[in-house]
Amino acid sequence: MAHTEKPTALIMIFGATGDLANRKLFPSLYNLFKKGKLDKFAVVGVARRALSNEEFQLKVKESVKENGDTETNADIDEFVSKFYYHSHDVTDSSSYLALGKLSEELDSHYGLNGNRIFYLAMAPEFFGTIAEHLKKDKLTDVSGFKRLVIEKPFGHDLESAKVLNKQIRTAFTEDEIYRIDHYLGKEMVQNIEVIRFANAMFEPLWNNRYISNIQVTSSETLGVEERGRYYEKSGALRDMVQNHMLQMVSLLAMEPPIKLTTDEIRSEKVRVFRALRPIKDGEVNEYFVRGQYDKGIMNEKDVPAYRNEEMVDPESNTETYVAGKLMIDNFRWAGVPFYIRTGKRMKAKSTKIVIQFKDIPMDLYYQPEKTVNPNLLVIHIQPEEGITLHLNAKKSGQGTDATPVKLNYANKGIDGLNTPEAYEKLLFDSLRGDATNFTHWDEVALSWSFVDNISEVWENTKEASFPNYASGSMGPDAADKLLEKDGFFWWPITEIDVENC
């Protein structure tokens, strides 16, 4: 697992002129540098465009000032001085040989011990080609460690993921491959394990005897914006469910690991994926609901329907919303539904998990016109971070009526201001060699095999009701009915709405 506190490495960012590098990677590296977490390092930006080192360094500086800490210190010049640029053709061996020569020079100049991080921040269709060239053109022949960091999507389905994995494995072993899921870098997602395994009041209750259902919501207010071409091929199922949503479910459902090591945690997550009840063709509509946003008004502005967005087919069958019921067929979770929902152009931006505990066997405080609220544990992931425990207590006064009360922990204030971004944490983990919060191939393969059946049914069935939810709503009515038939309802995503429940 973790090795040196201040890692030493040459970081090569393929796609260095792209949006991800600009918005996330450069500011994250600067934050690590400013906090003294990077020791000896250098960065090579790799992209097609012709740029000089000076022009590239200026871009990095602008990126940090626009997207990073507003209080940018004087040390930014020292930081950007370690950035170099290489204009590159991903299919041309001579280009890789020149990159290899530059790498060796920088390694010698900065004393980087032959350590290499290859970060592929570009279109996934180039992942396999780059990995094969890195091997063929000897960029992976290093005296230190070599690690490949790749962004999602990892394939388009199980078969394409297998092909990609085979290509990458020609150059890197599984323990050298770091598949990023930025949700796993979020503070409160990492806190799921702590909440469960460090609290005597929760772990004994974390099973089908005491929990009635678990709900995981990730809603966005944005539409597809300029990502229409990508989204048409992916949809919400591939873009969100196959990775982020299933990863959160695995952390909520896994058994306590023997030790908090990468291998043990991953092993328990894989067991959850294996226990997921497969959804057969005829059952897809019983367990899953899809939606596509219509036009609407958000922030007092008219917004278009998905089919009217740029690069989108006017008769598109692509889903921008998914709600599903997952069953985990093991001893701990038999009979407990895990409900997931994710969508674009929804009422509010929110990622949260609601664990609903079962009602007490006999309600001593029953009143015909009033019911005692169930106990809930709510884990807030974004935009706010924290935990809320919903309990029942006696009102002040003479009566014995039970009234709902909330115990809140918010990850705000002074500590919150310094909470590092998900990318900052994941970059640091990849430099240190800690793969705990990255996805293993077994997780990728099992999640694709679960999702593929659903996407195949949806792609071969035109959804006549599209568009079926207005922008600014909480999704299609069918998603509410999915829970109603089990006797549940979606808990609202805003605290104001919860209080009015």
The CATH number for 25's domain is 3.40.50.720
Question: What is the C-alpha separation between 433 and 2, in angstroms, rounded?
Answer: 6
- What is the per-residue pLDDT for 403? 82
SS3 433: coil
Residue 56 counted as domain residue? yes
CB 66 within 8 A of CB 24: no
Q: Are residues 220 and 341 in the same domain?
A: yes
Same domain, 65 and 208: no
Q: Is 390 a catalytic residue?
A: no
| Same domain? 172 vs 314 | no
Q: What does the pLDDT average to over 109-133?
A: 95
Q: Does residue 139 fall inside a structural domain?
A: yes
Same domain membership, residue 409 and residue 380? yes
Which residue would you say has higher pLDDT here, 227 or 43?
Answer: 43
Looking at the structure, tell me whether residues 71 and 155 fall in a common domain.
yes
44 CB neighbour count, 10 Å cutoff: 23
The answer to the question of residue 2 being in a domain is no
Domain contains 246:
yes
User: What pLDDT does residue 371 have?
Assistant: 66
The span from the CA of 425 to the CA of 421, in Å, is: 7
Q: Average per-residue pLDDT in the chain?
A: 91
- For residue 61, the enclosing domain spans 8-180
Per-residue pLDDT at 256 exceeds 80:
yes
Tell me if residue 487 falls in helix, strand or coil. coil
Query: pLDDT grade, residue 368 (50/70/90)?
Result: low
* 81 CB neighbour count, 10 Å cutoff: 11
pLDDT of residue 398: 58
What value does the mean pLDDT take over residues 156-180? 96
Specify if 162 maps to a domain: yes
Tell me, what CATH number does 322's domain have?
Answer: 3.30.360.10
Domain end residue (candidates: 180, 211, 233): 180
Kindly state whether residues 374 and 456 are assigned to the same domain. yes
Mean pLDDT across 277-282: 93
Same domain, 174 and 233: no
Question: Are 192 and 301 members of one domain?
Answer: yes
Domain contains 176: yes
Tell me, yes or no, whether 136 and 218 share the same domain.
no
Is the pLDDT confidence value at 418 over 80?
A: no
Identify whether 161 is part of a domain: yes
Mean pLDDT, rounded, for 344-358 = 96
Q: Exactly one of 86, 88, 133, 244 is catalytic; which is it?
A: 244
Examine the domain organization and report whether 194 and 118 are in the same domain.
Answer: no
Q: Say if residue 415's pLDDT is above 60.
A: no
Within 185-300, residue ranges assigned H as helices are 187-197, 228-236, 246-253, 262-275, 284-287
Annotated binding site: 48, 89-90, 152, 182, 186, 220, 239, 344, 349
Specify the number of domains making up the chain: 2
Which pLDDT value is given to residue 111?
96
Q: Which residues carry a binding-site annotation for NADP(+)?
A: 48, 89-90, 152
Q: Domain for residue 429, yes or no? A: no
Q: What is the pLDDT of residues 483-497, one digit of tens each?
A: 999 999 999 987 644
Q: Are residues 308 and 264 in the same domain?
A: yes
> Is residue 86 within 8 Å of residue 50, measured between CB atoms?
no
Q: How many CB atoms lie within 10 A of CB 442?
A: 15
Which one of 180, 198, 221 terminates a domain? 180
Give pLDDT, residue 417: 38
Domain termination site, one of 180, 196, 212: 180
145 and 283 co-located in one domain: no
